[in-house]
Amino acid sequence: MKIIIHGGFFSESSTNSETKIAKQQALSRIAKQAYDFLETHTAVEAVVYAVSLLEDDALFNAGIGSQIQSDGQIRMSAALIDGSTQKMSGVINIQDVKNPIQVAAVLQSYDDKVLGGEGATAFARSHGFDYFSTEIPQRRQEYEAKLKATGTGTVGCVALDKEGKIAAATSTGGKGFEIVGRISDSATVAGNYANPHCGVSLTGVGEDIVGNATAAKIVTRVTDGFSLKDAFDKTFAELALHDGFAGAIAIDHNGNMYHQDSHPSMVFASFDGENLRFFQ
């Protein structure tokens, strides 16, 4: 069993050591909690659990603490993919829901698996997800001061369970001040993808990730016989041709874990029951 999570990029590391330490501690704690959960649950259930914990932590730009768009509203996106069944479900630009990844999980059992905007929010309400404002004072202050965010905040998780099954989940609160209606990579196969061979979750600039089809490329290359490292190297080399901004975490079916970013530094943590690794 293996689990790896990410909390987006950390642009504050050079100026705010307290925030850096807090994120390190949060990711380490959540990685261990998610691993404990994975011991008695499937990979799909574990990635939803881990991403929900990340959505509930205002340190990260997903769920609580999501960025505010140009019209003063928060819209979030999230996706879940079961590597064994290849079923992907997601919500795009959903509003006023505490845990978008849990709405994505409910959609796994529906024929229409990806919903957007008002339809996604209405679906959530009809399935017991109550109104919940994910805005925190810090985000409102940033918005009112017109402080442009870095555009690199997303959370994600990839898990390999005891049966050898892989799942990936990703959730984002957007880049902040974006045009209303913008769609990020998080609820696409460019930002969140898995099959029986590999699972990948991305963070970074959504447009760069989609243009490079990053997650799908990595997974496809591992499926075709590339090592996880070689799949990352080739895919990130292609991303670099256009100065793409992205970071990724992955697990393959042999239990190998890997992470890479194009511009330092993506925050991450991984745990295999014995060894904890995290961004420092």
Structure tokens at 210: 């989609």
Q: Which residue has the tokens 């990053």?
A: 214
The whole-angstrom separation of Cα 15 and Cα 22 is 14
SS3 for 5?
strand
Q: How far is CA 180 from CA 75, 176, 183, in A?
A: 9, 10, 9
**Catalytic residue at 220?**
no
Q: 52: cis peptide before it, omega within 30°?
A: no
Amino acid present at 78: A
User: Strand runs (DSSP E) across 48-191, as ranges?
Assistant: 76-82, 87-94, 114-116, 155-160, 166-172
| Token code pair at residue 204 | 């970074």
Compute the distance between CA of residue 245 and CA of residue 223 in angstroms, rounded to an integer.
Answer: 24
Which residue in the list 121, 154, 172, 235 is annotated as catalytic? 154
Residues tagged active-site: 154
